[in-house]
Structure 1
Amino acid sequence: MADLNHVVLIGRLTRDAELKYTSGGQPVCKFSLAVNRRKKNGDQWVDEVSYFDIVLWGRQGESLNQYLVKGKMVGIEGELRQDRWEQDGQNRSKVEIVANNLQLLGGAPGGGNSPSGTGSGAYQERRPENSPERSPRETPAGDDGFTDDIPF
């Protein structure tokens, strides 16, 4: 049987992503992801949080870096990688998740959502001009919220 190393996570960024470049010019985007798990403790349900370090290489990391801000929900598909080194005579290691695929999901808490869900465009909350959050004085006169070019 072959070995398997596959990780799928959905969580929120704990900090803004950092974009750096290797000496060879390869983009590398790093961030941390918090993933909540609900479990029962006696009669109470409690949230248990796990934190994971994520690495996103190449053009995907370079282009998505601007959207990877603290609180943003993302889906990650990737694999575990163990980095090993020696520091002050001690062997050290760290496990990171190298993302092969990243999907932007929902908005940051209190923020807006992706207009198309594809990860492109500005992340602003958009409301129709006649939405309840606007006062009648702010709605343009004669605007009923419909355009004249209805295709039927």
Structure 2
Amino acid sequence: MLPAWGLANAAATLVGQNLGARQPDRAEKSAWRAAFFNMVFLGIVSLGYLIGAPVMMTFFSDDPKVLEYGVQCLRLVTLGYIIFGYGMVISQSFNGAGDTRTPTIINLFGFWFFQIPLAYALAVMLEMGPAGVFVAISVAESAIALVAIVIFRKGRWKQVKV
């Protein structure tokens, strides 16, 4: 995840620099390109986690229950990595444009009002247990990314004064 966050932060810098240079189209193009590369990177990471989860988990424990839940978590959470990789760059790009309010609001609603209630509903009410929490993470992260992408496409962030 650290290289993915590094690319997201680099995209934020590119957006800020290009807006400062009064080149909003180049700022937008930089964000979309970085988002694509981040999506590809996290897609590759996802494949590694999906295939290698059992081996990776043995580095942390040999307890069968820990291994079971750890493998399940890696496999279910990484299903959302591709769209999450795209969304993390777009969210950071808002920050680079000086618009810290938009990602704050998206995250507030996405995590507190969507992910947490969804995790509870899936895990407890639908009796999915830990798998419900893991699914909720993927679903919520993907929804947050999609919301960020839709708002970013509208382009209001180009007018935020840095």
User: Does the pair score TM above 0.5?
Assistant: no
> Max radius of gyration: which structure?
1
RCO higher in structure (CA 8 A, sep ≥6): 2
More strand by share: 1
TM-score range, shorter chain: under 0.3
Q: TM-score, normalised by structure 1?
A: 0.26
Q: By percentage of residues, which structure has more helix?
A: 2
* TM-score when normalising by structure 2: 0.24
